[in-house]
Amino acid sequence: MRQITLASQTSFEKYGRKSKREQFLETMEEIVPWAELSALIEPHYPKAGNGRQPVGFAIMLRVYFLQQWFNLSDPGVEDALYESPALRRFAGVDLGRSAAPDETTILRFRHLLEEHDLCGQMLDTVNLYLEHQGIRIGTGTIVDATIIHAPSSTKNSSGERDPEMHQTRKGQQWYFGAKAHIGVDAREGHVHSVCTSAASVSDVHMLGDLLHGEEKKVWGDGGYQGQTEVICRAAPEAQDMTCRRTRFQDSVDEEARRKNRTKSKVRAKVEHVFRILKRVIGFTKVRYRGLFKNHQWLCAAFALVNLYLHRKRLVPLGA
């Protein structure tokens, strides 16, 4: 083990306690499958040569995760590494030996993940790790979508809004941005499929891509009703459990309302995932222009959401 310099040592205060951030990072340190993710990404990472030496791969992967957990931009996470000893300890940055990765290095690492489409594979790797821990994807899938806001202002260098983002109306409110479509396991509650589209795209257009094909039942809200044929094509043995319309011009179908309430007890699990994404991680607005970059970011985010969702089952006993 490398000797730690005095620059990374904590001070000698008499009183102190671990902050919630430190407790969170200690938990993530225990449950993230570092070996599996390293085996996936490290073969694509630049190797040391005669020129400028690359920043350690382990540091860059941890910095990328810090961006996800604390909703930090490239320059934001660089500043945070200099400001927070807790973040430096987690990332393995020792200011007594070298500087923290700069924003350009962080950007290039993100581009590396995007170039090789590694974020989607990261989600698959995490789900495979969960399966080895006994948290398996079953035969039921819940489908749903959520809107991710994008800046609607044209006060930028191009003088126009992001052409790949569009607006949609929900209730009496208009929204501009992207839409994250997900397929969630009905038993364990974690994400196994992700699609990203403009906000104006209907939920039903992504339905077939959100199913893994071995479902016995598919749950969804009323926006997915009437899609039985699509479900049968994607999962031939699946039963359509989406909610049905209950209000008509002159009557209310009480039997359909009762069935919808029963279905919603299962379907509610998908909201837990969106809560972690938007309230715990804080991903309520797109960070980049274009759908591809935001799709890659969402895939990595949902991989970490899955780990956070099952953190109590993954932390080793006695930890």
Please give the span between the terminal C-alpha atoms of the chain, in angstroms, as a whole number.
22
Q: pTM of the full predicted structure?
A: 0.91
Quote the pLDDT of residue 6.
56
Could you tell me if residue 318 is left (phi over 0), alpha (psi between -120 and 50 degrees) or otherwise beta? left
CA dist., res. 50 & res. 53, Å (int): 8
Residue 84 clears pLDDT 70, i.e. is over it: yes
Place of tokens 């090789």: 116
Within a 10 A sphere around the Cβ of 281, how many other Cβ atoms?
18
pLDDT at 317: 46
Is the per-residue pLDDT at 252 higher than 90?
Answer: no
Are 200 and 168 spatial neighbours (Cβ–Cβ below 8 Å)?
yes
The model's confidence at residue 3, banded by pLDDT at 50, 70 and 90, is low
For the cut 50, the answer to whether the pLDDT of residue 1 exceeds it is no
Please give the Cα distance from 258 to 236 (Å, whole number).
27
Residue 301 has pLDDT above 90, yes or no: yes
- The single-letter DSSP state of residue 161 is -
pLDDT band per the 50, 70, 90 thresholds, residue 156: confident
Q: What is the pLDDT of residues 4-60, one digit of tens each?
A: 665 555 555 677 788 999 999 999 999 999 999 999 999 999 887 766 768 889 999
Q: Which helix (H) or strand (E) holds 194?
A: strand 191-198
Does 291 score more than 60 pLDDT?
yes
Give me the mean pLDDT over the 200-210 stretch: 95
- CA neighbours closer than 13 Å in the CB half-sphere of residue 206: 24
- 8 A C-beta contact, residue 47 and residue 38: no
Query: Angle 74-83/103-115 helices, nearest 10 degrees?
Result: 130
What's the pLDDT at 54?
Answer: 82
Provide the pLDDT confidence category of residue 172 given band limits of 50, 70 and 90: confident
